[in-house]
Structure 1
Amino acid sequence: MGREGQNILAKTAFLIIVAACIVSVTWTGGADTSPDETGRVAEPLAGTAWDLVAFRADNGSVVAPLHGTAPLIVFGESGTLTGSAGCNLYSAPYRINDSTIAVEPVVATAAYPAEEQELVQQESRYRDLLVAAASYRVEGDRLTISGPSGRELLVFARAEQPESVPLLSTEWRLTHYTTGSGSTVASPVPGTSITLVFDDDGTLSGSAGCNAYSAPYRVNETGISVERVIATKASCAEPAGIMEQEGTYLDLLRSAAGYRIVGDTLAVIDGNGRAILFYTARWAEGPEREKP
């Protein structure tokens, strides 16, 4: 992956719940735990984003991230955190109870610029520390995550709100998808293009690589459901693996339960809180789909 691609991945880190299709992302200004209109107590980190400024290295010292590759973390409204580990995108379910936090195993993309061993090591260390989280505290514009012993592992500074694109009126191009049990992430087969468009009549459509597909969909404030995916019946022989990829993609789309958008990146999430499909925005020519 070239430097431009790295910058695109590093700046995105999608994923704050978008309310009612195209409503702007809401970011909280602090750890507000006051009850909402229904009497529920708000999860204190939900809707906030943070840039990593320091982390605990393998040798125990506290160091700053490599220049230009600082990981970003975004806490979603439904118990899913997502972001950029510096180059690759990641997602994981999380739970908070008072000052304690638990992060489940991270699902991440797996692309790196050539000869970037330091970045590979930094990303691996960052993900390990994130899963080791046991407690947190917010002091002004600083978020500190500590391990079970109380030792500080990760220190973040509050990030500015990225400018997001709408779910509708955008053509989305698949960049990564999960395989197997959802623990690994793959890129589309070279030479294939998988797209997704949400229309305001409640129908989504696109190309699955070989065949065109469509399906009714429903969204609410916290999720999305896809029903009765219908596809054409063509069979493509090339490139190798295109039909297997298409089958996997359509199965993943059927299991959609939620979505997140930050910047020009969309992630579709399943019922277990795992990001299963990753897209980037692609604006078609013409007045109806212009880049904001």
Structure 2
Amino acid sequence: MQRTSVFRTMSLAGGLTIAALFFSACQPATAPSAEPSTPQNAATLAAEEPVAPADGNVREATEGGAPMLEGVVWQVVEYLNAEGALGETVAEATITFEEGRVGGNAGCNNFFAGYTLVGQQLTIAQIGSTMMMCEDAIMAQEQGILAALGKAAAYAPKEEGVALLDASGAVVLTLIPQPQASLTGVVWLATMVNNGQQAVVSLVEGAEITATFDEEGALFGSAGCNDYRTSYTLDGDAIAFAPIISTRKFCSAPEGVMEQEANYLAALETVATWSIRGDVLDLRDADGALAVSFRAAGR
């Protein structure tokens, strides 16, 4: 899958407009609402009389017995396509609901929005998205997923996962819990780095930062220009790193890579805790501030 940094505007079914937003950019305008209708060939579930999830390791039941929508990394397996039928995804897409914010990746771009949840009734606000371009089939999937999220009005159990329903009760998205990555045996790719100025920023375009934790307690990878190495110890969700050593090369491209490298290595020195959700690893300092966020390569 090839991505380019071309920005675009996508007009989605149901009046959903995706605005190009960056992590501290302006707020998107409110999308117009559409009259609910039952899509052709879409399954319909009642958002009541929930059943327990079939998998035993992803979520607890709510007080009313419904599966927990929040705090799980969901993988999209079906979405309502342009023909009004539920189709399978062609590229991995994930969704997470937590603390009033829904976000994830629809196949090419990251997206984010606010939401409210009352029982099993769900309302999602205007959705913002990054604006990279991918292959046509992936972009069609992305538009369908984001349009479906804009129509979501409730959720209900469905097989080993959940389904998001529109106002008429028709299924617009089918979700299953994403398998959780382990800390070791994975090449982690940094996606966000604390710059030491009370801001967490995305990586310089064209730069790559990696981290590999081996089972013997070594951490090594590329900081963007230079290779680095250290050791780590774990105690539950606490993690501590020994002093970091690195090579001493200078890279002139991409622009800003050396400053980013210095920020990354400095951020690692502040790390006190770790957590994994799905394929995302977050390292945080003792106050809970994000130091570095990674995504597992190849997932």
Contact 1:55 1:153 in 2 (8 A): no
* 5+ residue gaps, structure 2: 4-53
CA displacement at 1:227 relative to structure 2: 5.4
Contact 1:195 1:206 in 2 (8 A): yes
CA displacement at 1:173 relative to structure 2: 4.5
Whether 2:270 is the aligned partner of 1:246: answer no
Whether 2:78 is the aligned partner of 1:53: answer yes
Structure possessing the higher relative contact order (Cα contacts under 8 Å, 6 or more residues apart)? 1
**Closer, same or farther in 2 for the Cα pair 1:130/1:165, shift >3 Å?**
same
1:44 equivalent in structure 2: 68
CA displacement at 1:43 relative to structure 2: 6.6
One-letter code aligned to 2:76:
D
**Closer, same or farther in 2 for the Cα pair 1:103/1:279, shift >3 Å?**
farther
Q: Distance in 2 between matches of 1:49 and 1:145?
A: 11
Show the 5 A alignment for 1:227-266: 230-232=244-246, 234=248, 236-241=250-255, 242-250=257-265, 253=268, 254=270, 257-260=273-276, 262=278, 265-266=279-280
Q: Secondary structure at the match of 2:172?
A: strand
Q: Distance in 2 between matches of 1:42 and 1:202?
A: 40
2:43 equivalent in structure 1: none
Match of 2:56 among 23, 28, 35: 28
Contact 2:193 2:291 in 1 (8 A): no
Q: Distance in 1 between matches of 2:113 and 2:241?
A: 25
**Closer, same or farther in 2 for the Cα pair 1:142/1:121, shift >3 Å?**
same
**Closer, same or farther in 2 for the Cα pair 1:103/1:93, shift >3 Å?**
same
2:211 equivalent in structure 1: 196
Q: If you compute each CA radius of gyration, which structure gives the higher value, 1 or 2?
A: 2
Show the 5 A alignment for 1:102-113: 111-113=132-134
Cα deviation 1:50-88 (Å, max 9, x = unaligned): 53423387xxx8454586247444679x99977641345
Q: Distance in 1 between matches of 2:231 and 2:56?
A: 34
CA displacement at 1:243 relative to structure 2: 0.5
Paired positions, count: 238
CA displacement at 1:236 relative to structure 2: 0.9
State the Cα RMSD in Å.
Answer: 5.3
Match of 1:156 among 173, 176, 180: 173
Q: Distance in 2 between matches of 1:70 and 1:205?
A: 27
Contact 1:99 1:137 in 2 (8 A): yes
Contact 2:107 2:139 in 1 (8 A): no
1:278 equivalent in structure 2: 295
Cα deviation 1:19-76 (Å, max 9, x = unaligned): xxxxxxx9438975278xxxxx99724557453423387xxx8454586247444679
Q: Distance in 2 between matches of 1:252 and 1:152?
A: 47
Q: Secondary structure at the match of 1:243?
A: helix
2:164 equivalent in structure 1: 145
One-letter code aligned to 2:282:
V
Q: Distance in 1 between matches of 2:158 and 2:131?
A: 33
Q: Distance in 1 between matches of 2:106 and 2:150?
A: 13
* 5+ residue gaps, structure 1: 4-25, 36-40, 283-292
One-letter code aligned to 1:28:
G
One-letter code aligned to 1:53:
E
Q: Secondary structure at the match of 1:246?
A: helix
Q: Distance in 1 between matches of 2:262 and 2:161?
A: 44
**Closer, same or farther in 2 for the Cα pair 1:206/1:65, shift >3 Å?**
same
Q: Distance in 1 between matches of 2:229 and 2:203?
A: 21
1:123 equivalent in structure 2: 142
2:189 equivalent in structure 1: 174
Contact 2:190 2:292 in 1 (8 A): no
CA displacement at 1:92 relative to structure 2: 8.1
Q: Secondary structure at the match of 1:237?
A: coil
One-letter code aligned to 1:278:
R
Cα deviation 1:146-165 (Å, max 9, x = unaligned): 57xx4568633354875x66
Q: Distance in 1 between matches of 2:295 and 2:134?
A: 19
Q: Distance in 2 between matches of 1:50 and 1:204?
A: 29
1:9 equivalent in structure 2: none
**Closer, same or farther in 2 for the Cα pair 1:256/1:88, shift >3 Å?**
farther
One-letter code aligned to 2:182:
P
Deviating more after overlay: 243-252 vs 138-147: 138-147
CA displacement at 1:189 relative to structure 2: 2.7
One-letter code aligned to 1:68:
V
